Amino acid sequence: MIETIENSRTEFKVKLVDDLEETIIAFLNKDGGNIYIGVDDKGNIKDLNGNIDLLQRKVKDKIISSVEPSILGLFDIEVLEGDDKKYLKITIAKGYETPYHIKGMGMTPDSCFIRVGSSNERMDQHLINKMFRERTKNSLKNIISPRQDLTFRDLKIYYTEKGFDIGDNFEKQLDFFTNDGKYNYVAYLLADENRVSIKVAKYVGDDVDELMENYEFGDCSLIKATYRVLEKFRTENKIYAKITYPERKEQPMYNYKAVREVIINAIVHNDWSNEYPPKFEFFSDRLEVSSFGGIQSEFTEEEFLEGYSAPKNPELMRVFKDLELVEHLGTGIRRILKEYNKSIYHFFPHFIRVSIKYNQNEFEYNIQNIHKITSSNLTKIQEGIIGLIEDRPNVTQEEMANLLGVTSRTVRNHIKYLVDENYIERIGSDKKGKWIVTKNIGGRQ
């Protein structure tokens, strides 16, 4: 049984129905919500008959083909199980291009719906016109790229690795154009070359008075920059150790999986329209990640911390989801709060900051990297290769070289050593296979 009731953000459907798009549109035009297919009005789970994967594809196709404007990046579909029965959960975010409507019918009361309580109501023409007038003009999709000579070689490689068929309309499918056919700011952020710079600063003390190191990851696809920032946070994650009889206790500076979610949230939800990138900072006692834009006015801080929000950049969200950097809508914050309490979040009118204290406690600091493999003396490059494989089993040797700042030949030599020593293994073909880590890695989070 589902432990909730039908309300302004929850709808139950026993099976896939013809008017599903009405509920989708109603959620998009209000505050978002969840639709459960395979659940009756009382919340009882009714096992879905037939091929669940086929049903999932039918639902996805129905949503994409039935709603305008495009809602790619604004919905997610999961197969869940309860009471030994499977059901679907469709997560719908609040849309930014309201009013959404049934495709091909235009913005009329017959095709525009809004959520009122636990029901979907037709919108009157006055509300439709008001929403259309208030539609944001600062959407990244509508901002013209400062450059029009863009290429997307790296992005196409990432998509190919994930099994996508890259066709001639690749750029159009990703909404890389304004209405007049020019490259937009989404395309600019994801292009091989741009002027977007993401900095990671490291300070000597617990304030910004003395800068120790400053790393710059940018002028490249935002996806590549994201991987580089993640790799930096991975390598900075040392362990604290305490020698106790009869064993040595260790813990990492921070939980990397949770911090990974913080980093990706900051990048994908940043207000890029103001051209301010998110900030990443290491202090002597904590790390801080700041993203610009603040909480959307429609949501409270409590709702934000419960996972309710609207992707500020749905086109970016779509790409990050395609490349499996983002799993499911609204789950990132919940995963973070499994490891840290809500006090790590600090809200300001124009930005959000996450501040995470290091896990020092009574432990003494040990300069070993948390990803050091037990009983081995791997080089930093070899540790980096293993870290990249854990994040992206499909990573190519060329990408490893780019991300680690070495030549492809260097990567090949180190991979040969790691394979020969049984640290890693290649499964499948060179083109469609993947890497796996085969030796135990101590202290991993």
CA–CA distance, 151 with 18 (Å, rounded to integer): 41
Query: pTM of this prediction?
Result: 0.68
SS3 of residue 350 by DSSP? coil
Do 84 and 175 belong to one domain? no
Do 91 and 19 belong to one domain? yes
- Say which CATH number the domain at 321 has: 3.30.565.60
- Is residue 228's pLDDT more than 50? yes
pLDDT at 106: 86
C-beta separation of 283 from 203 below 8 A: yes
Burial 205-233 (b: 16+ CB within 10 A, else e): eeeeeeeeeeeebbebbbbbbbbbbbbbb
Give the residue numbers spanning the domain of 85: 10-134
Beta-ladder partners of 244: 247
Do 311 and 388 belong to one domain? no
Tokens encoding 133: 């007038």
- Say which CATH number the domain at 423 has: 1.10.10.10
Is 35 inside a domain boundary? yes
Q: What is the pLDDT of residues 238-276, one digit of tens each?
A: 877 665 556 666 778 899 999 999 999 999 999 898 778
Do 251 and 293 belong to one domain? yes
C-beta separation of 5 from 43 below 8 A: yes
- Is residue 445's pLDDT more than 50? no
C-beta separation of 199 from 282 below 8 A: no
C-beta separation of 207 from 283 below 8 A: yes
- Count of domains in the chain? 4
Phi (first) and psi of residue 197, to 5 degrees = -120, 125
End-of-domain residue from the set 357, 389, 414: 357
End-of-domain residue from the set 134, 150, 172: 134
C-beta separation of 85 from 38 below 8 A: yes
Do 207 and 232 belong to one domain? yes
Average pLDDT over residues 79-94: 89
C-beta separation of 215 from 333 below 8 A: no
Is 443 inside a domain boundary? no
Q: What is the pLDDT of residues 272-325, one digit of tens each?
A: 987 789 999 999 999 999 999 888 766 788 888 887 767 778 889 899 989 989
Is 98 inside a domain boundary? yes
Question: Residue 229: which H helix or E strand, with range?
Answer: helix 222-236
